[in-house]
């Protein structure tokens, strides 16, 4: 039987989601905990990768196991065993062919910037000392919806088959002393959101014009775009699946 896990984590202490040699990751910690509780080697498949230091308010992963009589009890025990920076929000059974990565139809990220030094946001937001022009950044962000190829924002030497993404929403909002960027798409490339944020900040600080922003998008060249914003301000906030995966 196949089960989905809905989890959240503070990414500060992890080298991203995906298992890697010589680096601690969320996937590795989750698999070890599940394997301990279920007394069988368990492998989980996540909805996608997050880079080192990136947080997740919601990420889904699936695993296969025989019938679990009490998933609420498993959730309780799993939360007790996992470190404090990983939380299991839910565990539920899905159809046998449901896939946490390939069946996701929409993903949403937020990037948080703070304009004031705040000790409680030190690990959770990117501090900048001057406010960029939000109107310019939102004008550029809106143009993302008119493009499909985002190779210019992708990490170099990545193993993807296509750089096409369908960006459905992209905008900045101001909340008190914070700037929050929200972006939704069917899929994202590695490093894509942080590269977009860095480039939009260049637009906001008038280092890059809207005309140059279009040229960057058309270039398909990562070196033409801005530097990547720090990982600590980035959150995977939502992953959406079709109702058809549920039992």
Among all chains, which residue has been given the structure tokens 């994202």? 188
Residues 242 and 103 sit within 8 Å (Cβ to Cβ): yes
Say how far apart CA 33 and CA 29 lie, in whole Å. Answer: 6
* Pairing state between β 126-127 and 106-114: parallel
Give catalytic status of residue 51 as yes or no: yes
Query: What three-state secondary structure class fits 196?
Result: helix
Rg (CA), the chain: 19
- Angle ∠(35,37,42) on CA atoms, nearest 5: 20
Among the listed residues 228, 166, 147, 159, the one whose alpha carbon sits nearest the alpha carbon of residue 192: 228
Task: Read off the tokens for 168.
Answer: 């459905």
* Pairing state between β 178-185 and 167-175: antiparallel
Query: What three-state secondary structure class fits 24?
Result: coil
Instruction: Put residue 16 in one of left, alpha, beta given phi > 0 → left and psi -120 to 50 → alpha.
Output: left
Say how far apart CA 132 and CA 53 lie, in whole Å. Answer: 24
Say how far apart CA 129 and CA 116 lie, in whole Å. Answer: 7
* Active-site residue, from 6, 51, 73, 166: 51
Catalytic residues: 51
């Amino acid at each position: 039987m196949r089960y989905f896990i809905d989890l959240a984590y503070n990414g500060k202490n992890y080298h991203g989601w995906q298992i890697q040699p010589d680096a601690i990751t969320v996937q590795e910690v989750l698999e070890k905990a599940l394997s301990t509780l279920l007394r069988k080697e368990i492998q989980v498949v996540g909805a996608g990768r997050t880079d080192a230091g990136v947080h997740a308010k919601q990420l889904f992963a699936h695993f296969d196991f025989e019938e679990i009589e009490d998933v609420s009890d498993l959730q309780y025990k799993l939360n007790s065993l996992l470190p404090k920076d990983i939380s299991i929000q839910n565990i539920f059974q899905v159809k046998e062919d449901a896939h946490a990565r390939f069946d996701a139809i929409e993903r949403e990220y937020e990037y948080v910037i703070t304009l004031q030094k705040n000790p409680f946001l030190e690990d959770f937001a990117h501090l900048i000392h001057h406010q960029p022009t939000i109107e310019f950044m939102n004008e550029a962000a809106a143009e993302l919806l008119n493009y499909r190829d985002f190779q210019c924002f992708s990490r170099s030497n990545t193993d993807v088959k296509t750089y096409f993404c369908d960006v459905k929403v992209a905008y900045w909002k101001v909340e008190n002393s914070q700037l929050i960027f929200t972006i939704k798409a069917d899929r994202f490339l590695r490093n894509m959101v942080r590269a977009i944020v860095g480039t939009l900040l260049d637009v906001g600080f008038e280092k890059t014009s809207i005309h140059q922003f279009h040229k960057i998008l058309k270039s398909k060249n990562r070196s033409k775009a801005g530097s990547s914003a720090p990982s600590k301000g980035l959150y995977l906030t939502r992953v959406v699946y079709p109702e058809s995966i549920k039992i």
